[in-house]
Amino acid sequence: MTSAKDRIVKRAVQEIENGMNVNLGIGIPTLVANEIPSDYQVLLQSENGLLGIGPYPLETEIDPDLINAGKETVTTVAGASFFDSADSFAMIRGGHIDIAILGGMEVSEQGDLANWMIPGKMVKGMGGAMDLVQGAKRVIVVMEHVSKYGESKIKKTCTLPLTGQKVVHRLITELAVFDFTEQGMVLMEVAPHVTVAEIREKTEANFTLSENLKIVT
């Protein structure tokens, strides 16, 4: 049976179009790199200073000097370039990233995102998420629908420290796809074999149904 993360990644890669510059956040988003169609010319950007990330390396390809923002070893594609963090964040803040696909701990019905820390737990740094949610042209959040404790991660109001307010354009979980509009949070797609009733049961936030509600493909 396909895992929840696999279903999320499969749907998330559909957000990427040929020719885009894309930033992948830590966690589930990094898995998207392996699923981008081989005939696409997509440049993946990492805020630690790399443009042109390739798939995860085979054991024989590992280079400890090639890492992404999550400190995972990666490969590069033809034409990749390296630069310092100042140039990397200039790309982000200058609006040169077409899509940022980020993980989330909580998302609110207003499109607020909390994904950089849990109070009381050690945080090595806030990373680039706060810049990405403001600088990227489109922000896609990917996360599991409920926590390991069975609580909805899609809230009326976020309880964790915010990364940004009203910054999420689309939310993808293993159960559904939501968009955030001026009219509020809208359910756009439902996973196969999942009912709207189940989604309402597992979603604390209020949402409406799209007139063109579809099944996730």
Residue 46: strand pairing partners? 50
Catalytic (active site) residue 109: no
Q: In whole angstroms, give the CA distance from residue 46 to residue 69.
A: 6
Q: Burial-class residue 23 by CB neighbours within 10 Å (0-12, 13-18, 19+).
A: buried
Q: In whole angstroms, give the CA distance from residue 96 to residue 43.
A: 11
Q: In whole angstroms, give the CA distance from residue 176 to residue 209.
A: 11
Which DSSP category does 67 fall into? B
Name the catalytic one among 15, 17, 35, 47.
Answer: 47
Provide the CB-side half-sphere exposure for 164 (13 A, CA).
19
Distances (CA, A) of 1 to 4, 6, 30, 146, 147: 9, 10, 21, 19, 20
Provide the annotated active-site residues: 47
